Structure 1
Amino acid sequence: MELHTHKRLNILFKNPFRTLLQVKTGRIVKQIKDMPDNLFSSQSVDYIVNDLFDDYKIGDLPIIFWEKGTTKISNVKLTSQDLPSSFDRGFNGTIERKKIDFFIPISDGRHDIMVYRGDKIDYNKPFAGGMSYSTKSFNPVGVPYVIDGNKLQFTYIDLWQNPEKTNETFFDDKKIFNEFYLELKTTIEEYNFNLPNVLRSLVNQRIEKLKRDQEYESKLVFPIVSDPNLTDFFIPKKVLKSKKIQPKPKKITPNTPTYEWYITEDDFTHILKILHDCGKMWEKYPRLYIGRDEETLRDQLLFVLVPNIIAVVAGEAYNKKGKTDISIKHENTNLFIGECKIWKGPKTLIETINQILKYLTWRDSKSAVLNFVPNEDFSNVLDSAEKTILQHPNYIGKNKEYEKGWSNYSFRLSEKSDVIITIAFQFIHTPELYSKE
């Protein structure tokens, strides 16, 4: 005979996992619907999906350390009304029995979906394994456990004063619990596995709707009036998730303990992508740059860059050899330097390259020149800039062309140096820069 019995509870409990899925589904749909239109033109589908996945995936269940369980024994007094019908109730007063608590350590994890939640329970129990159900939680598998902090607690009353029977009942309950645990674990894994496809489908649906809206608007006889509430200053794109810039150490020489720090290629590309996306927004919405000078345009870039990365970012930073527009540092090392220039021709570009080469002293240093091009003939400027870069005496080669107006090149730090640095050149078309608003 089991050492505990349970009555059906006359209350509707909410399945925590089902409730969690319902809440997450609603939030996903709403978040994608509320995303600003420009986000879908400034970020890739993969980028949006990955960040949404980080927000909406379900974390792992806690690990259960069955082999590290402990026992606590206490005494309880029971009246005849507390006992099951199979037990002799022909006595007055109370009897004393041992209450056995087994505590099983568990790791951090989604404890919340391992118990059901509901309103206050009034549970009339003749006998329920010594557990009090006058709470707001109930386990979903019908065995006497609760989660207490980072422990599973199984509680039994040894009515028949038989510890072997207590152990036997616990192992039966453990088996039932493990079946529930494995089923829930599998369900979570399936949810997380399918989530990216669901997110991708919803994002693509939103993109298709935007395309249909844009196609419709393009067929109207007059242009669409811009939003009157659009601020004259820059509106940054939505930050989905800040990326931590993690510099890497490298020994200056194999036989010395001294290190220099450098920024990884992935982090460098991430920074450049943010700056490039900002430039694309300017090209799409000229009101954001009309009448601005270099300093104001730089501030707008910082306005976007700072919330999107976790690093020490400075505007108009001072170095020993001069002043830089954008600087990302680690300790005293410049990991990244950016110069913001309004395009004024090849001569100014050469001066900017020389200026950057003076700032950088470390192998693997990264930098960028951000050119705001007011000229109407953008392609002619790109051709002129390319020829100028290739003619620089420190030029080594072209690393990669990412998009029209964005390429990375390798340079020697000086003509006779073996130190190689990377400079990215981005050109942002701002033909209305000198227009009046």
Structure 2
Amino acid sequence: MKVMAYDDLLFAKGELGAWLGRRLRDALAEVAGTNADEILARPHEQISDEIIERYLVPDLCLDQAGITGSVTDQRVDVSHDVMRAVSDRSSPTYIAGSRIMFRVPFTGIPEIFSLKASTFSFNPPRATVLDGYVSVFRDIPADVLESDRDRVVAALRDEVAKIDTYLDYSRRDIAIANTRLQVQVRQAAEGRRAKILADRDTEAILGVPLHRDKEAAKTYRVQPVVRRRVAPVRQVRPQEGFAPEPAITDEDFSNIVTDIVSTTRMFERLAVTYADLREERLRDPILTALHAIYGGATGETFSKRGKTDIYLPWGDDGPVFLAECKWWTGPKAFAEHDLPQLLDRYIVWRDTHTAMVLFIRNKNATAIIAEAEAIIRAHPRYLRDMNSIQGSPAFVLHKDGDRDREITLELITAVIQR
């Protein structure tokens, strides 16, 4: 059998930088290929972290505390040893000897052992990389081992140390590449989300009718139901001379509220995922569900004096529904900022249906919901209560300065507690 004095050359069969570059490109391609609805339905930070975890290069380390050694019989070819009298050097000449081996366990990606880092020498180490071990060996004639055993063992230890030094070179390159990967993947995910939202805003100004996709509604509903396409009706004003304006039916309004409630129930069930997210991050899954069902929902859409969180348009006539999402930060903020922001900054004279989606992380959620309801009833434009939808209270208020123009306000609450 053939006997080898050394094994494979390490860190010499490819460029580590090129390999790391390919991983980065693959990770960015995965971001670019992520489904648009998923980007909006889930926090983009969560998506980017999952992709980063798949492409981040783990530490490659030798476990020198777990090193093991062995000495086995081996026939050694000495045909190339010029210090020996060999009659024919054109063919192997075997004598008795031993194979001295160190086996060092490692953790990390084995492929890195074959790749050259940006720092290197022209005399890289040799070893076998297999099954979680780096094996360094020398085939030594018996007479050499007998006379110089310490030097032979020391040379093997030096080879192991040399491998670790080369791994240090690789680890430096990998650390830089990992940092670059994390930054660029997160930027790419955030950029993709912004681009998709911009596309949604573009859809909002196309002037096409609001269409409700029944199959998409089933996807986003816990209890799927058959729905109809939302059709605007003409709102009738009690006084003579009223010019009819587009509005949605109570049934359609109930459907929209139900779709939002279905999504917020997911927040409550998956509180660990959603409890620490900002309002706009919680808004995105709601917006995605509505967009999938109705085909025109947009976020951060300008209305009156600001950009409302959720906007369902009807052609060129403006929204048939809009909503605002807020974390509960106390009765003063709700009464003096959150509710006025919706009623005064976003709702115009022609709007008829709206909702306040209130996220609550406090333990006394029942008391907070009652307090929020009381604040709405105490509002100077409050007229009366309506029947609740999916357990969410509804109220009728009038437009500022015009008691004949009514708007229905739904208070949707999601209690998101860890």
Scaled by the length of structure 1, the TM-score of the pair is: 0.46
Bigger relative CO (Cα 8 Å, ≥ 6 apart): 2
Scaled by the length of structure 2, the TM-score of the pair is: 0.47
From the CA coordinates, give the structure whose radius of gyration is larger.
2
